Structure 1
């Protein structure tokens, strides 16, 4: 062959050169294959084997021009196993036609025609023709190919057509499959210098699973696509003098007589990383430690300019062996600073919805990406781990039967489950973060309900999905960021410090952590989040804050709605065949130990599809459900605070209805609305109406002051006739007088409170004028026109201005404004 002749990698082997591929001269005399075949192979039902009967399936191997090379046929055996045999055209013992014979080695790849038709498309290599066809349907942007002969025949395949291609290998989920994938990657890298990478399959997937099988429990098509994206092609260009070899990264010395420097054990540059704003550039690196564990680290380039040993120390800390000589470490930093990759990776600071260069995706707390993306997205710009918070056990169906179904008819369990799906909707509806707090006596099932809600997202155990109130506000910032666009379950408010609780409620509702500074004085980027939080405890927010000498503010009440334990129990509406409430709670606690995590993934996958296909339709459906809820349950003329809280109940209702519509919650239509409405009405009844919380609090603080001091600080006035009043006991000395009291025409006590006492004691911590206005709006403060006070003739005091509180203050009368 002339040196200048180009080799066509898709051309069939010349029969003159096939002698070396045959095992013996005797085989050559008996079997003469013809490639390409002069005819198409028969359909599967026409292919008959003398021992196995008719074929159940067949696949055709073609050359780059689409001509048939050979086929493989699959036969179902009586024992349930399958037999896959090659089927090749040629002459055997004098008969020319199709025979159950091997084509000549090296074996052609399955999918050569697609490789030729799409020369720039990325390649996905799988084991088996059936898996290749399934992969082609799952990943249409890739060319799915395979080789003939299964896991033991990797070395017999002709890999030359893959030269210069970007190849990802998806292994079967068993030991032979993993070995085959590793072997293929090694051959491609060493013989063809192909950048070949293997998909990492999660532990716990079924043994032997491949892409032709149904996805494992809790796994969806979007999950598989995201896994492939994360192993997208890694085209890496090392700077001159540096090369990654089988033994690791080397620097080639200028003097050929000197040994090249070994700098580090093998690692992969998965891509160049930066945040969505184009800052924080660096490299996404991965490697296996000496125990075989995979490590992945996002190294910012600026770390190479800082402390000289910081990068090397981090690499060694994470199990990568490196050269320790200062000169070698300097070369390693030089290589890391100059290496370039065609792959781009976007780093996001928190979980939840992210808008990247390829559109909208949802990042799970473990870093899994749900949604279509053409660029890899990873969580956080540091160590990338897989937290237990995102683990999955059981299936959606088993969770529905054991956890979701018993919520029907049990209002608070249904509310908590519905609310657990509301976090991902905050980005859709634009609502602010907020929560629900359930309080009451111990050992009544509050924590069980919270754990059921947590099971929607992951393991409902403390330290996994379930979190404790016993933390500082600063500590909860990171926890909130992890739960962004999701759920944050907080148990036992009683264990927390009241001062921290007050700050945490504001913190979670405000969706941002504190502003802090870097070492150089510049502002550090604050952690942010959007979430729904659920809370339990033996006391409500007001009681907890009172422990710390604080009063609950209306803004805190709006951010976290406190709901008392129902008198008839938390799950008394539907016992689901159990003997009593306790038996049902025991069942739920056992059920969530084996079923968790899959409902949220199913919901997110369905929501991501819906938003991609009809975002406006999703918004409209949610708005319709919420409007219907508010029309049915919100009193006319309700205060803005009540409206805000009603909207959160409506959001939970809409989330539950959407989850039911997606087939995730096994509830009849309207169940989520009914349960949320029942809980809202109970909350509203306990509150005492739909007025402003500040107005209610204002009345309570005046009532509390009068009830506490009564006659001890108020001098009693009696009428002497003709509009003249005198103190009933003028010789009585009052310590720290607050004012006077007298009976009105109906015989109730009316209180005249001195202005200074009103401002400094009655209204301590509040605006005295706002408290006065609240009382006046309820006809409980009698004033002069244009003023909040009135002048009263008091014996010995002339006509001081006082706050004249009406006689109905202690009997709870609240006239409408």
Structure 2
């Protein structure tokens, strides 16, 4: 895989080749002894050197850093997996020739070249990573989409699936210009400021070991939601960072991978597949793609990511899923926080900073974001690495802000609403950090106030509190059955010591003790009624909420009868009753 291509700097002849080879400015020569005992030199190839050996942080995946000079004097850098030298040296040679490498003709020349490259033993070492963003869980080095590295120069990005990285994540202009022309116009505009704060929150997800968080900007056409997305994109790169919801699920995995530790932006939710969007949000929020096999049957490394997500559209997620006869689950609504982007004074905006109308303001800030970009995000990461104590102090600050908001809104702190407010508090703190780092020109309290405005509006949009309790009960029950359904629930003809209940292909019969275990800290009867309201629990005869277990269960004790489909249903909790 190619790294940087630069003009020749250090002559490759400075690197000492293995014994029997001589490196000169004209290339590599083989040193031989004639029949007469004279030392002779035979030209083998154009200038080339193995300058270092690389490996990942687990000391696996070894590779060789090869540099060569083509006929135009341009120096190429190539990182070749060690295994290729044994399994497919022809591919290695093809790659060299494609980069302008020249060599002597004949089979012997190929043999000598293989010997040269495999026996070259440089002392220099470097690390590799297959991840953009934070290179590993230590969060000490950050790889940008254009392969720039923050926090260390001894690491190289290598990933066959995304060889080009994210070309749109490059920089243009200066941070000072971005602050004055872009971030300054976010002042007084909660939707804009929180969208940009969401972009800064991308690196914090893994840095603080938090859940992936997202926002969906819902608004009418020309309201300013897409403008907000483009302004948020400018934190990390060009407007091309704004992607479309029309991407296939596989393509979305790739987009998520290259957005690791930054911001994934998906425009126009109305264009997405109604049948697939629910699963797509779960996939994006869970932080990993589908497990796949190689041609030999072995499992490939699963694509993983941590990031924030910004979505836009004229309709909500619920409205989109309703097109396919589905309804949203709690796990989807807390991952994608709905924000109204057309209810401010001027659509998505409150303050126009001297412009006469919302359209002119949108055009002005969009133009500014298209001229200066990709400088604020890297600057934020630089400061984050310089202030490592933030990693231990920021979680308590996020928790404190969320707690104040929960109390002010009268919402429970440990349910779905608490998770949403926790996400918004993290986004607010990201914007505040950007202010304290002088990456923006905001007052540090402004992004907190902006996120609080959206938190209040979000709370006003929600249905009665019971909706959240029902969804939380369904998710707790589903998670338990998914984790223990095959190991703790006894089937006919089998025997399990102290079973949690019984099951067949259609039903789970959850014992009362297990039910209390699943819903510890909550009223068992109330939780059963929530499951009944959602159609996952089928009551027994008469007034009994519990049903008799099957005939093959000794004594047929009563238990909570739950539809087995609950463990596979991802979208519609009512479809089992259809």
Give the TM bin, normalised by the shorter chain: 0.7 to 0.9
Q: Report what 2:249 is aligned to.
A: 473
Q: Give 1:425-574 correspondences, 5 Å limit.
A: 425-461=204-240, 465-568=241-344, 569-574=346-351
Q: Give 1:153-172 correspondences, 5 Å limit.
A: none
Pair 1:682-2:460 in alignment: no
Aligned length: 482
Q: Report what 2:121 is aligned to.
A: 340
Unaligned runs of 5+ in 2: 1-5, 475-506, 508-525, 548-578
Q: Give, in whole Å, the separation in 2 of the partners of 1:567 and 1:266.
A: 65
Query: What is the CA-CA distance between 1:326 and the residue it aligns to?
Result: 2.9
Contact 1:493/1:535 (8 A) holds in 2: yes
Q: Whose Rg is larger? A: 1
Query: What is the CA-CA distance between 1:348 and the residue it aligns to?
Result: 0.5
Q: Give, in whole Å, the separation in 2 of the partners of 1:771 and 1:290.
A: 76
* 2:65 corresponds to which of 274, 281, 284: 284
Q: Report what 1:366 is aligned to.
A: 146
Pair 1:605-2:355 in alignment: no
| 3-state SS in 2 of match to 1:663 | coil
- 505-514 or 630-639, which moves further after superposition? 630-639
Contact 1:450/1:489 (8 A) holds in 2: yes
Judging changes above 3 Å, is the alpha-carbon distance between structure 1 residues 479 and 278 closer, same or farther for their aligned structure 2 residues?
same
| 3-state SS in 1 of match to 2:197 | helix
Contact 2:191/2:349 (8 A) holds in 1: no
Query: What is the CA-CA distance between 1:689 and the residue it aligns to?
Result: 4.2
Contact 1:639/1:692 (8 A) holds in 2: no
Query: What is the CA-CA distance between 1:686 and the residue it aligns to?
Result: 1.1
Q: Give, in whole Å, the separation in 1 of the partners of 2:69 and 2:310.
A: 39
Contact 1:289/1:320 (8 A) holds in 2: yes
Q: RMSD value over aligned CA atoms? A: 3.2
Task: Render the CA deviation track for 1:100-154: whole Å, top value 9, x for unaligned.
Answer: xxxxxxxxxxxxxxxxxxxxxxxxxxxxxxxxxxxxxxxxxxxxxxxxxxxxxxx
* 2:95 corresponds to which of 307, 314, 329: 314
Q: Report what 1:142 is aligned to.
A: none
Contact 2:52/2:124 (8 A) holds in 1: yes
Contact 1:660/1:669 (8 A) holds in 2: yes
Task: Render the CA deviation track for 1:366-417: whole Å, top value 9, x for unaligned.
Answer: 222212x4x7111125596575323211211111111111111111111101
Judging changes above 3 Å, is the alpha-carbon distance between structure 1 residues 690 and 290 closer, same or farther for their aligned structure 2 residues?
farther
Query: What is the CA-CA distance between 1:598 and the residue it aligns to?
Result: 0.9
Judging changes above 3 Å, is the alpha-carbon distance between structure 1 residues 476 and 268 closer, same or farther for their aligned structure 2 residues?
farther
Q: Report what 1:377 is aligned to.
A: 155
TM-score by length of 1: 0.55
Contact 1:271/1:284 (8 A) holds in 2: yes
- 645-654 or 262-271, which moves further after superposition? 262-271
Judging changes above 3 Å, is the alpha-carbon distance between structure 1 residues 460 and 390 closer, same or farther for their aligned structure 2 residues?
same
Q: Give, in whole Å, the separation in 2 of the partners of 1:291 and 1:546.
A: 60
Query: What is the CA-CA distance between 1:782 and the residue it aligns to?
Result: 12
| 3-state SS in 2 of match to 1:552 | coil
Judging changes above 3 Å, is the alpha-carbon distance between structure 1 residues 696 and 311 closer, same or farther for their aligned structure 2 residues?
closer
Unaligned runs of 5+ in 1: 1-172, 196-235, 700-758, 760-768, 790-817
Query: What is the CA-CA distance between 1:649 and the residue it aligns to?
Result: 0.6
Q: Give, in whole Å, the separation in 2 of the partners of 1:488 and 1:560.
A: 12
Contact 1:622/1:654 (8 A) holds in 2: no
- 438-447 or 287-296, which moves further after superposition? 287-296
TM-score by length of 2: 0.76
Q: Report what 1:630 is aligned to.
A: 403
Pair 1:787-2:576 in alignment: no
Judging changes above 3 Å, is the alpha-carbon distance between structure 1 residues 297 and 565 closer, same or farther for their aligned structure 2 residues?
same
| 3-state SS in 2 of match to 1:340 | coil
Q: Report what 2:439 is aligned to.
A: 664
Q: Give, in whole Å, the separation in 2 of the partners of 1:308 and 1:602.
A: 42
Judging changes above 3 Å, is the alpha-carbon distance between structure 1 residues 696 and 302 closer, same or farther for their aligned structure 2 residues?
closer
Judging changes above 3 Å, is the alpha-carbon distance between structure 1 residues 608 and 348 closer, same or farther for their aligned structure 2 residues?
same
Query: What is the CA-CA distance between 1:287 and the residue it aligns to?
Result: 3.1
* 2:29 corresponds to which of 220, 229, 250: 250
Q: Give, in whole Å, the separation in 1 of the partners of 2:225 and 2:393.
A: 34
Task: Render the CA deviation track for 1:634-680: whole Å, top value 9, x for unaligned.
Answer: 53425622211111111100100111011112111311111111112
| 3-state SS in 2 of match to 1:253 | strand
Which of structures 1 and 2 has the larger relative contact order (alpha carbons within 8 angstroms, sep 6+)?
2
Judging changes above 3 Å, is the alpha-carbon distance between structure 1 residues 641 and 625 closer, same or farther for their aligned structure 2 residues?
closer
Q: Give, in whole Å, the separation in 1 of the partners of 2:73 and 2:95.
A: 18
Q: Give, in whole Å, the separation in 2 of the partners of 1:497 and 1:324.
A: 55
Judging changes above 3 Å, is the alpha-carbon distance between structure 1 residues 687 and 438 closer, same or farther for their aligned structure 2 residues?
same
Judging changes above 3 Å, is the alpha-carbon distance between structure 1 residues 587 and 771 closer, same or farther for their aligned structure 2 residues?
farther
Task: Render the CA deviation track for 1:484-519: whole Å, top value 9, x for unaligned.
Answer: 111111112222222332232122111112222223
Q: Report what 2:3 is aligned to.
A: none
Task: Render the CA deviation track for 1:245-286: whole Å, top value 9, x for unaligned.
Answer: 212233233437797444432234231011111111120123
Q: Give, in whole Å, the separation in 2 of the partners of 1:580 and 1:627.
A: 38
Query: What is the CA-CA distance between 1:552 and the residue it aligns to?
Result: 2.2
Q: Give, in whole Å, the separation in 2 of the partners of 1:271 and 1:332.
A: 17
Query: What is the CA-CA distance between 1:626 and the residue it aligns to?
Result: 4.1
Pair 1:582-2:359 in alignment: yes
Judging changes above 3 Å, is the alpha-carbon distance between structure 1 residues 503 and 267 closer, same or farther for their aligned structure 2 residues?
farther
Q: Give 1:77-226 correspondences, 5 Å limit.
A: 185=10, 195=14
| 3-state SS in 1 of match to 2:141 | strand
| 3-state SS in 2 of match to 1:596 | coil
Contact 1:436/1:533 (8 A) holds in 2: yes
Runs (4+) of structure 1 exceeding 6 A deviation are 256-259, 696-699, 781-784
